[in-house]
Amino acid sequence: MSFKIKNQEVRVGKPKIQIIKYKDQRFSFNFSFMTPRDEFNLSKRGKHINKTIRVELINKIWRLSQDDINTVLSYPKEIGLESLPIDTIQIALNSEFEKSGRREDVDEFYWVFRLNKKGRVICMKQKHIIYIISIDTQFKQYQH
């Protein structure tokens, strides 16, 4: 295709679209939409998520970030992720999560990973992004 601009002919070809294929795809973790309840988020006002839990959380996220998504999803629930139906977990979602439209794009169930016997991290997954919604160190948010 071509067209003229001020008596000069300009040729426009098909744009080249480059698709980058990565060797593997890994999870990314997002803390932007944690529950507003202090007992289940990283707020310093909460009394249940201490330094030990925070270190365990970072270590677990690091471990889950080291392998391809398919590999992580094949781990046993004790070291990987497990899915739970939405109606089995008592949680107050962050209103900004709902308003942003992300709620419509995530999987139709919660994803949970364990912090050993110290607690559970409740998440929602959208492709490779894991939204950390709540950290339950009291084992109150669902039946174990």
Q: What is the pLDDT of residues 93-136, one digit of tens each?
A: 999 998 998 988 999 999 999 999 999 999 999 999 999 999 99
Mean pLDDT of 81-102: 91
Q: Is 99 left (phi over 0), alpha (psi -120 to 50) or beta?
A: alpha
| Position 7 in a domain | no
Q: Is residue 42 part of a domain?
A: yes
* pLDDT for the residue numbered 19: 67
Q: Give domain status of residue 11, yes or no.
A: no
Residue 99 within any structural domain of the chain: yes
- 17 lies in a domain? no
Confidence check: pLDDT of 43 > 70: yes
Domain for residue 4, yes or no?
Answer: no
Q: What is the pLDDT averaged over residues 35-42? A: 91
Residue 76 has pLDDT above 70, yes or no: yes
Q: Which amino acid appears at position 125 of this protein? A: K
In a domain, 15, yes or no: no
**Based on the structure, what is the number of domains in the chain?**
1
- State which residues form the domain around 122: 24-136
Q: Specify the pLDDT at position 9.
A: 63
| Mean pLDDT of all residues belonging to the chain | 88
What is the layout of strands, in order, in the sheet containing 28-30? 28-30, 129-136, 120-126, 109-114, 81-85
Local structure of 59: helix, strand or coil: helix
pLDDT of residue 46: 77
Is 61 inside any structural domain? yes
